[in-house]
A and B are shown apart, each in its own frame.
Chain A
Amino acid sequence: MSVSIPAPRSQRIDPKYKRGPKSRGSFEMLAWLFMRLSGVVLIVLIFGHLISNLMVGEGISGISFGFVAGKWASPLWQFWDLAMLWLAMLHGTNGVRTIINDYAEKHATRAWLKGILYVATIFIIVLGSLVIFTFDPCVAGSQLPQC
């Protein structure tokens, strides 16, 4: 005697368990990968930043407007600082986004906190990039000999 058993839960899968195009795609996986890749690059960039600014020469006593102008006269340090700005801000923003998602339980609170975070991030990245690209060694108050 044979009994036919219907396929379990056929056509009745709760939509929240369905995977596919409706999900948020691979954003979270890419964010996870970005944290590892940018982390490694940031170690090189920030260690180089700390060594050149605080460890060699006069260290922090030698930092002044002239010191910054000297560094940004070189395209290498301009690129170094620009890369450091973008990677550190995106790495930090994604970290804080994760923390907000973990601890802010109300949907409205999460949305507000992340909104404030993203506005601050865009402001700091745009401001920092403009400062590097439009740097003027002869800005107001400059005591440099070429001015």
Chain B
Amino acid sequence: MSKTSSGTLYRGHEGMWSWVGHRVTGVVIFLYLLVHVLDTAMVRVDAGAYDAIISTYQTPWMALGETGLVAAILFHAFNGLRLILVDFWKQGTKYQRQLLWGVLILWVIVFAGFAIRHLSIAFGSH
């Protein structure tokens, strides 16, 4: 590994970290997807058993986990749109850095909206 990594165009810069973030969030979402299909499959076995599993998703601790999952989904979604622009838009590679800032700003705004609504339901006295 080169010791002068700060001299490269890619390593250690926005492009590399968005790639790392895209991979990590992608794996997290995929693992949750496997579990989520299995828990939903309980509707075909027993209605009460499904309600029991869903009630664990409705606890405050799980709501924090769901909020983290949605944070991962939102980053993967917005950064995925950035990847498409980098691949298909003529100016995409030139503005990939600015596009990443756009992704992060959009991510903070949408995530804040989701988190306020979801956590106030999950922590509220319903």
Residues of A within 8 A of B (CB): 36, 39-40, 42-43, 46-47, 50, 54-55, 58-61, 63-65, 68-69, 85, 88-89, 92-93, 95-96, 99, 120, 124, 127-128, 130-131, 134-136, 139-143
Distance between Cα atoms of A131 and B42 in the complex (Å): 9
22 contacts between A and B (CB under 8 A): A39-B77, A43-B77, A43-B81, A46-B77, A47-B77, A50-B73, A59-B118, A60-B118, A61-B122, A64-B54, A65-B51, A69-B43, A93-B30, A95-B27, A96-B27, A96-B30, A124-B33, A131-B44, A139-B44, A141-B46, A142-B47, A143-B47
Number of interface residues of B (CB under 8 A): 40
Q: Are A131 and B40 in contact (CB under 8 A)?
A: yes
Given contacts A65-B51, A96-B27, A99-B27, contact A130 B58 (CB under 8 A): no
A124 to B32, CA, bound (A): 12
Residues of B within 8 A of A (CB): 23, 26-27, 29-30, 33-34, 37-38, 40-41, 43-51, 54, 57-58, 63, 66, 70, 73, 77, 80-81, 83-84, 87-88, 114, 117-118, 121-122, 126
A60 and B48 form a contact (CB under 8 A): no
Interface of chain B: mostly helix, strand, loop or mixed: helix
- Cβ–Cβ contact B44 & A61, under 8 A: no
A135 touches B44 (CB 8 A): yes
- Minimum CB distance partner of A51 in chain B: B114
Q: Which residues of B contact A136 (CB under 8 A)?
A: 44
Distance, CA A140 to CA B26, complexed state (A): 36
Which residues of chain A are within 8 angstroms of B121 by Cβ–Cβ distance?
A: 54, 58-61
